[in-house]
Amino acid sequence: MSEQRRATGGAALRWRQSLRAADPLPDNQRMNLLAFDTSTDVMSIAVQRSVDGVDQVWQHTGAGGAQASSTLIPAIQQLLRQAGLRFDQLDAIAFGRGPGSFTGLRTACSVAQGLAFGAGVPVLPIDTLLAVAEEARLQQVPAPASLNPPERYRVLATLDARMDEVYAAYYVYSSNIWSQDKGYSLILPENLVLEDGWTMAGNAFAAYGDRLPESRLPRILALPTARAMLRLAPAMLAAGQGVSADQALPVYIRDKVAKTTQERMLEKFKKSAA
């Protein structure tokens, strides 16, 4: 693991905690929700419940990746106990569907399916890069929004895809709605297109900062947090994006996850020679 990745992981894991925080939302967005993401090295979980007309959020952050397979469910159960909620009292279960760690995506998807099936509640698969964009927006334009919020907020969301590649997607936030400006990319960091007027968010620049094109774009360290998913969930559910447990599937951008060392070296050579 590179020194940059160690630094990034250490900073992220310093968030490891369990806490309760008031997070008021508009009346039409008040729901009982569970959200979690295990697509990166950081596991993020949050439970939202409306208490006396005020939405409260309980959060937990821990080690992600392969470690999340044994800690995700106990952490979810603990947060629900703190919130005083049962699984069947949830309006939906949201999870990060990808792109991201193959093992992490399978873990999140299988847990979401199992819990939703048992409780009889819908599942909301959320793009991890969209959650990165929303987390960046929350950091730059904290809720409640400033008196003069930007008319449009544009984010190049990135995540370290390992194997010398980056997951990337462009998102535009306007009139309280996110739209994806282009499709997903799995790309070498030096081939990213950085446009003026955009904010670059994610963790790719922490891992590949010296390989990114020169740019004056603002950079925000952001991960696909569960709190960002809670903010996204009400509008997505209202738009009919919730699905039954058996229809909740992960999104894999890389078409072949398990590759031999020789295959990886050959692909890297081809890309560098292109």
pLDDT of residue 224: 97
pLDDT of residue 150: 62
Contact 49, 87 (CB under 8 A): no
Query: For residue 193, what are the β-bridge partners?
Result: none
Distance CA 67, CA 44 (A): 13
- Where are the strands (E) in the chain, listed by range? 18-22, 33-37, 42-51, 54-63, 92-98, 123-127, 152-162, 165-174, 177-180, 185-187, 199-202, 219-221
pLDDT of residue 217: 87
pLDDT of residue 50: 82
Place of tokens 């984010």: 155
Which residues of the chain fall short of a pLDDT of 70? 1-29, 142-150, 255-274
Distance CA 124, CA 126 (A): 6
pLDDT of residue 66: 73
Contact 37, 105 (CB under 8 A): no
Distance CA 228, CA 35 (A): 9
What is the model's pTM?
0.81
Coil/strand/helix, residue 179: strand
pLDDT of residue 8: 34
pLDDT, tens digit (0-9, with 9 covering 90-100), for 183-206? 789 999 999 988 888 999 999 988
